[in-house]
Structure 1
Amino acid sequence: MSIDRITNLRGPLAVAAGLVLLVLGIASGVWTERSLEDYRVVLELHGGAVVNLGRSMDMQADLQGRMVRLSGTPRVVEAPYDPDFNQQAGTPVLVRQVQMFQWRELRLGSNVTYELDWADTPQDSSRFAQPKGHANPGPFPIAGKRFDAGSVALGGYKLGVALVHALPGSEPVAPDMKTLPANLAASFSLHDNALVTSARPGDPHLGDLRVSWSAVPLQEVTVIARVDGDHLVAVPNAADGKGYEVNVGDSALLDMRPDMAAQPALTWPRRILAVLLAALGAGLLLRWRDATRVDPLAALGGGLLAVGVFAAMPWLGSSTVTAITWLVVALVGLVLLVWRRRAPRH
């Protein structure tokens, strides 16, 4: 059915068609605004819209305060350093693990057995069912510790502490015996890429220590974070509890944040269509009231009024500016409608 035929409808048919078109226009407007509001909630959850930089390695001044996605291999500017053992590695994070050869209590139902094994925390033998003959030395004389690089860069940006901690992966790092302090070199020997205090490394005894290191490998990663000066940082107080994303490899934005797939498309064409549908419906209803020719301006006023009022509702309590904008549109529609209805007819 053409527009001319629609506008020439009379009686109950005109009312029915007008109501249908008006409802379709209102529904289309509300659906569009609701989808935009839902997407805004997703953006706020993660810290805002993301600018996809891809593999761009240069800083951009116009990105301050915005979220970006950047892929590449991090570069260690200041390597992490373990001052106790004088160990250093060209990696974002160096982790020292300390274990002691201790008694461990094993329970299987009512059966209790004991074995000597490496453990990375002190085993409290006072709580054993049979502590006699299974006493452990107590606290470790050396603690495990994490050492972060002084500076890690991705492209032209330095990574904030939270992002450095989030870099994935772990690989063993063999200690450098040449840099080991003299006092520790006298106490430890190298065995299976670890330092051990055992007189016979392959046959440890109660209380022997084993110290080893692991590192976060340098590999391609994809980071989503906020630009803060020359740093990429986590969004403070982000609703998702993180405010950043770090993935191995060149990961697409939607792989890292699938909920961003809901970004509405053709927003303005949909808004315009909603107003036109509502205006056409309003025109039919106005024509039925006085059986005169459809006034396009009055119909447009009715469409703006109807869509504006209902389109503002999804934004109430979330985006005052957007809600007020739609209410202003509704007011313009009301003024236009009243003006045209009171205008003298010739």
Structure 2
Amino acid sequence: MSSSQTFPDPNQHKRVSVKSNPGFLERLGETAGGTVVGVGLFFLSIYLLFTNEGRALQTASSLNEGLSQVVSLGPFSSLDLQNNNRLVHLSAQLRTSQPLHDPNYRVAVQAVKLKRQVEMYQWVEYRESKDYKEDGETKTETTYTYNTEWKSELVNSRNFDKEIGHQNPSAMSVESVTVVAPEVGVGPFSLSKGLVEQINVFQTLSLRDISTFNLAPFLSVDDDYFYHTQNPRRPEVGDVRVRFSFAGLSGETSPLGRAQTVSVVAMQRGEQLMPFKTKSGDTLELLYPEQLSAEEVFEKELQYNSKKTWGLRAAGWAIMFLSIQLTMRIVYTLVDWVPVLRELVSVGLKIFALSVSCSLSLLTIGVGWIFYRPLVAAALGALALLPVFLARSRLPAKKNE
């Protein structure tokens, strides 16, 4: 059951819905469903924590192996077939054979990638809800607000609470697209597809020097955007604007500046730079959009691996903490009709979930390391069991009292 309240502003209204208070059995059923989800999340956290340790050690081993084998080449080195099937490092400028074009807007850039990003002026719905109790019932008041904004994705107005007066077009007249140069080179080598995919630092193409005389009559330029309207400062719903950006500036005569220097670590195979398979099982195919030595490239990769490892450890612990809370929620449901006891149980369950998740996370990490670093695994296991030993050591003291 719901009721609607309209404001003088046609772009805002409220809707109040009434929710019946669930009974004990209904709440118990919802809690049981949460318990099932909690068990699933618990095993997911175990899997994530365990496999993350193996991944981290394998990646570190592969990077150390690569660093010990890499051959650094000079920026103006010629092709040396003696380095075939070896891991090489090179810092040099990007090279492409021809500019990338968008004939519809008469844009041409000598770069590895040219991105056309399209936005349309559309209605957007925002919802803000709050619950309150009135006459023994739980009510939800939702405020709907409609604004017009530039959006890069289509907003389906059919899903709005009030579509009348806020209809959006069903399609864009122009699509977003990214054009990639067919051949990209660095020094005497051509880059593999995997290396080209790593060139993703885009810069907005300035339209200050674009001549408006050659544009189509329905286009106008304002603030580095092509507008499909003659009134870009007063857009209407359905109007489209287009912005261009590029990545990997290349070519010696580009008016946008010098070609970008990149640092690459990959396997040389003839004139190609390809992925390098390590004995540890990983693939090395690295590219950074700056001039770096081989040692600096591998140092950055090791730092990234460390951050990723700790990030996944934190994520695994958080999932385990949530899973234990969901699993033990049924205890809270059984006593939530007693106000004082309910609060005590809630705090106790949070402390329990925190303690158990910390201990089990450390134990899982220790098991993950046990085949590679037995001493570290033993230390982590001892740290995880420390709360148990402390608790047991206090029991005799309490008995003596």
TM-score (norm 1): 0.56
Matched, 1:151 2:171: no
Q: Secondary structure, in 3 states, of the residue corresponding to 1:96?
A: strand
User: Contact 2:77–2:187 at 8 Å: present in 1 too?
Assistant: yes
Matched, 1:90 2:110: yes
Q: Secondary structure, in 3 states, of the residue corresponding to 1:255?
A: helix
Q: Which is strand-richer, 1 or 2?
A: 2
Matched, 1:114 2:114: no
Supply the distance in 2 between the matched residues of 1:45 and 1:90 (Cα, whole angstroms). Answer: 37
Aligned to 1:293: none
Matched, 1:67 2:98: no
Aligned to 1:340: none
**Residue type of the partner of 2:167?**
A
The count of corresponding residues between Structure 1 and Structure 2 is: 224
After TM superposition, list the pairs within 5 Å mapping 1:3-14 onto structure 2: none
Deviation for aligned residue 1:86: 4.0
Match for 2:170 among 98, 113, 138?
138
Matched, 1:212 2:232: no
More deviation in 239-248 or 140-149? 239-248
Change (3 A) 1:42 1:243: closer
Aligned to 1:196: 227
Supply the distance in 1 between the matched residues of 2:115 and 2:95 (Cα, whole angstroms). Answer: 18
User: Contact 2:112–2:181 at 8 Å: present in 1 too?
Assistant: yes
**Residue type of the partner of 1:72?**
A
Deviation for aligned residue 1:228: 2.8
| Structure whose CA Rg is larger | 1
Supply the distance in 2 between the matched residues of 1:62 and 1:170 (Cα, whole angstroms). Answer: 36
Q: Deviations along 1:102-136, whole A, 9 cap, x unmatched? A: 01112233332111010001001111122221110
Matched, 1:76 2:76: no
User: Contact 1:72–1:222 at 8 Å: present in 2 too?
Assistant: yes
Q: Deviations along 1:228-255, whole A, 9 cap, x unmatched? A: 3212233489988763111132223333
More deviation in 146-155 or 239-248? 239-248
Q: Deviations along 1:11-55, whole A, 9 cap, x unmatched? A: xxxxxxxxxxxxxxxxxxxxxxxxxx9899526987993222142
Q: Deviations along 1:201-250, whole A, 9 cap, x unmatched? A: 11111000001100014322211122232122334899887631111322
Supply the distance in 1 between the matched residues of 2:279 and 2:155 (Cα, whole angstroms). Answer: 39
Supply the distance in 1 between the matched residues of 2:104 and 2:281 (Cα, whole angstroms). Answer: 38
Q: Deviations along 1:170-198, whole A, 9 cap, x unmatched? A: 21114585699x8x712211111211012
Structure 1: 5+ residue stretches without partners: 1-36, 262-313, 315-346
**Residue type of the partner of 2:221?**
L
Q: Secondary structure, in 3 states, of the residue corresponding to 1:81?
A: strand
Aligned to 1:247: 288
Supply the distance in 1 between the matched residues of 2:298 and 2:84 (Cα, whole angstroms). Answer: 22
Supply the distance in 2 between the matched residues of 1:125 and 1:155 (Cα, whole angstroms). Answer: 51
After TM superposition, list the pairs within 5 Å mapping 1:1-346 onto structure 2: 41-42=61-62, 49-109=69-129, 110-174=142-206, 185-218=216-249, 219-235=260-276, 243-258=284-299
Deviation for aligned residue 1:200: 0.8
Supply the distance in 1 between the matched residues of 2:126 and 2:167 (Cα, whole angstroms). Answer: 15
**Residue type of the partner of 1:61?**
L
More deviation in 80-89 or 61-70? 80-89
Structure 2: 5+ residue stretches without partners: 1-56, 130-141, 250-259, 303-371, 373-401
User: Contact 1:79–1:150 at 8 Å: present in 2 too?
Assistant: no
Q: Secondary structure, in 3 states, of the residue corresponding to 1:224?
A: strand
Aligned to 1:17: none
Supply the distance in 1 between the matched residues of 2:118 and 2:283 (Cα, whole angstroms). Answer: 30
**Residue type of the partner of 2:261?**
E
Deviation for aligned residue 1:164: 2.0
User: Contact 1:97–1:144 at 8 Å: present in 2 too?
Assistant: yes
Q: Secondary structure, in 3 states, of the residue corresponding to 1:130?
A: coil
Supply the distance in 2 between the matched residues of 1:71 and 1:207 (Cα, whole angstroms). Answer: 46
Supply the distance in 2 between the matched residues of 1:47 and 1:162 (Cα, whole angstroms). Answer: 20
